[in-house]
Structure 1
Amino acid sequence: MQNKIKMIPLAGAIAMAFAFAGPVSAQEVVTIGQVSPLTGPNAHIGKDNENGATMAIEALNAKGTMIGGKKVTFVLQSEDDASDPKQGTAVAQKLVDAKVKGVIGHMNSGTTIPASKIYYDAGIPQISPSATNPKYTQQGFNTAFRVVANDGQLGGTLGRYAINTLKAKNIAVIDDRTAYGQGVAEEFAKSAKKAGGTIVATQFTTDKATDFNAILTSIKAKNPDLIFFGGMDAVGGPMLRQMDQLGIKAKFMGGDGLCTTELAKLAGAGLKDGQVVCAEAGGVPDAGKAALDAFKAAYQKRFNQEVVIYAPYEYDALMAMVAAMQKAGSSDPKKYLPELAKIHYSGVTGPISFDPKGDIKDGSLTLYTYKDGVRTLLTVTK
Structure 2
Amino acid sequence: MHHVRTSHTTSTTRRAGRRRPVAVTASVLAAALLLAACGSRDEGTGDGASGDGTTTVTIGFDAPLSKDLAAVGLGMKNSAELAVKKANKDETVPGVTFELVAKDDQATPNIGQQNAAAFVADDSVIGVVGAYNSSVSAAMVSTLRDAGMAQISGANTAAALTQGADYKTAPRREYDNYFRTISTDAVAAPVMAEYFFDDLKVKKLATVDDKKTYGVGIVDSFTDAYEKLGGKVVVHQSLNPDESDYAAVVNSVKSSGAQGVFYGGEYPQAGSLKKQLVAAGFDGPLGGGDAVKDDELVSIAGAAAANGTYAHSDGAPIDKLDSAKDFISAYEAAGYEQPYGVFGAYVYDATTALIQAVKAAVEGNGGTAGKVTELRPKVVDALQDVTFDGATGKVGFDEYGDSVNQVISVNGVQDGKWVNGIDVVTVED
Question: Under a length normalisation based on structure 1, what TM-score does the superposition of the two structures give?
Answer: 0.89
In 2: Cα distance, 1:163 partner to 1:326 partner = 47
Out of 366, 372, 376, the residue aligned to residue 415 of structure 2 is 372
Q: Which residue in 2 is equivalent to 1:138? A: 163
Aligned to 2:58: 31
Preserved contact between residue 294 and residue 342 of structure 2 (Cα < 8 Å): yes
**Residue pairs, 1:346-365, within 5 angstroms:** 346-365=389-408
**Aligned counterpart, 1:242:** 276
Return the alpha-carbon distance in structure 2 between the equivalents of residues 50 and 41 of structure 1. 16
Change (3 A) 1:333 1:55: same
After superposition, residues 74-223 of structure 1 pair within 5 angstroms as 74-99=98-123, 100-139=125-164, 140-223=174-257
Is 1:327–2:352 an aligned residue pair? no
Look up the match of 1:48.
75
RMSD between superposed Cα atoms in Å: 2.2
CA positional deviation for 1:283? 1.6
| Structure 1 letter corresponding to 2:329 | A
Q: 1:269 to 1:370 in 2, by over 3 A?
A: closer
User: How far apart are the structure 2 equivalents of 1:183 and 1:270?
Assistant: 29
Instruction: Provide the secondary structure at the position in 1 that maps to 2:321.
Output: helix
Tell me the secondary structure at the aligned position of residue 45 of structure 1: helix
**SS of match in other structure, 1:41:** helix
Contact kept, 8 Å, 2:40 with 2:122, in 1: the verdict is no
Q: Is the 8 A contact 1:178 1:206 kept in 2?
A: no
- 1:93 and 1:263 map into 2 onto residues whose CA distance is 33
Find the counterpart in structure 2 of residue 315 from structure 1.
Answer: 348
For 1:326 and 1:135, locate their aligned partners in 2 and report how far apart those are by CA, in whole Å.
29
User: Offset of 1:6 from its aligned partner?
Assistant: 12
Runs of 4+ in 1 over 4 A off after TM superposition: 2-7, 285-288
Counterpart CA distance in 2 for 1:94 and 1:77 is: 11
- Asked if the contact 1:35/1:104 (under 8 Å) is kept, the reply is yes
Q: Distance in 2 between matches of 1:334 and 1:6?
A: 20
Instruction: Confirm or deny: 8 A CA contact 1:240 1:270 kept in the other structure.
Output: no
Question: In the alignment, residue 381 of structure 1 is paired with which amino acid?
Answer: V
The structural deviation recorded for 1:208 is 1.9
**Is 1:33–1:77's contact at 8 Å kept on the other side of the alignment?**
yes
Report 1:265-280 matches (<5 A): 265-273=299-307, 275-280=308-313
The residue that corresponds to 2:5 in the other structure is: none
Cα separation, 1, equivalents of 2:39 and 2:84: 16
Report the Cα distance in structure 2 between the residues aligned to 1:53 and 1:299, rounded to whole angstroms.
11
Taking the aligned partners of 2:226 and 2:85, their CA distance within structure 1 comes to 44
| Structure 2 residue identity aligned to 1:217 | N
Report what 2:32 is aligned to.
none
Q: Distance in 2 between matches of 1:6 and 1:95?
A: 7
**1:79 counterpart SS class:** strand
Question: How much does 1:272 deviate?
Answer: 4.3
Answer yes or no: is the 8 Å Cα contact 2:275–2:302 preserved in 1. yes
Aligned equivalents of 2:62 and 2:303: distance in 1?
33
Of all paired residues, the percent bearing the same amino acid is 28
CA contact (8 A) 2:40 2:118 kept: no
Secondary structure of 2:101's match?
Answer: strand
CA distance in 1, matches of 2:320, 2:85: 23
Q: Which moved more, 1:288-297 or 1:112-121?
A: 288-297
Deviation of 1:336 after TM superposition, in Å, equals: 2.5
1:125-183 deviation digits (Å, cap 9, x = unpaired): 00011111111112411100011111111212111221112111100000000000000
Q: Which amino acid aligns with 2:151?
A: Q
- Deviations along 1:220-253, whole A, 9 cap, x unmatched? 0122111000000010111111111101001110
Name the stretch that deviates more: 42-51 or 133-142.
133-142
Higher relative contact order (CA 8 A, sep 6+): 2
CA contact (8 A) 1:35 1:105 kept: yes
Q: Which residue number corresponds to residue 300 of structure 1?
A: 332
Q: Which ranges of structure 1 fall in alignment gaps of 5 or more residues?
A: 8-16
Partner residue, 2:285? 251
Deviation at 1:206, TM superposition (A): 2.2
Provide the rounded CA distance (Å) in 2 between the counterparts of 1:261 and 1:59: 27
Larger deviation, residues 244-253 vs 335-344: 335-344
For residue 337 of structure 1, what is the aligned residue in structure 2? 380
Aligned to 1:10: none
Residue by residue, what CA displacement relative to the aligned partner does 1:61-108 show, whole Å, maximum 9, x if unpaired? 122232xxx322111110011110111101110111013101000110
Point out where structure 2 has 5 or more consecutive residues left out of the alignment: 1-34, 42-48, 165-173, 370-374
Q: Using a 3 Å threshold, how does the CA distance of structure 1 residues 102 and 74 change in structure 2: closer, same or farther?
A: same
Q: For 2:256, what is the secondary structure of its paired residue? A: coil
